[in-house]
Amino acid sequence: MNKGAQIVSASIIGADFVNVMVNGRCYTVFPPTVHKLAGAGMFLSDFGDEQTVRDVISSINDSEKLAHAFSWLVQGNDGLFDELSHGTFDELVDAIDTAYSLISVENFTRLSTLVKNVASLIAKQR
């Protein structure tokens, strides 16, 4: 089976996930939806000119924001924040980096281009 068919098949049956350890507990993360990415993005928006996702996440330098963001990536809301806030900064950075790794760069690039196009259409007056 080729790689594309394998990715699609895994997605359909729910086999595309990663397990991440934070504060001694295992969390299962599925590829983030737009809803989850938007929720996590609220807490990951304070970054500068970093080049990689890991650099961006590390530059936040606020474990509380990272715990909020990872909660959004795991279950789509802030429900796990209290539990995740006991994790170390490095655990949270690794967890978020791993969650973002489930998004292919090609799809992320297409999504960001689409968002820019939609934003420019909304902003232009006719």
Scan for tokens 């929720």, then name that residue: 39
Q: What is the pLDDT of residues 54-68, one digit of tens each?
A: 887 888 888 999 999
Q: Tokens representing 3?
A: 């790689």
DSSP 52: S
Q: What is the pLDDT of residues 25-50, one digit of tens each?
A: 999 988 888 888 888 877 877 666 66
Report the predicted TM-score, pTM, of the whole model to 2 decimal places. Answer: 0.63
Structural domain spans, the chain: 17-101
Neighbour-count burial for 90-99, b at 16+ CB within 10 Å, e otherwise:
ebbbbbbbbb
Of the candidates 20, 25, 32, the one whose C-alpha atom is nearest the C-alpha of residue 75 is 32
Burial class of residue 18 in the structure, from the number of CB atoms within 10 Å of its CB (0-12 exposed, 13-18 middle, 19+ buried): middle
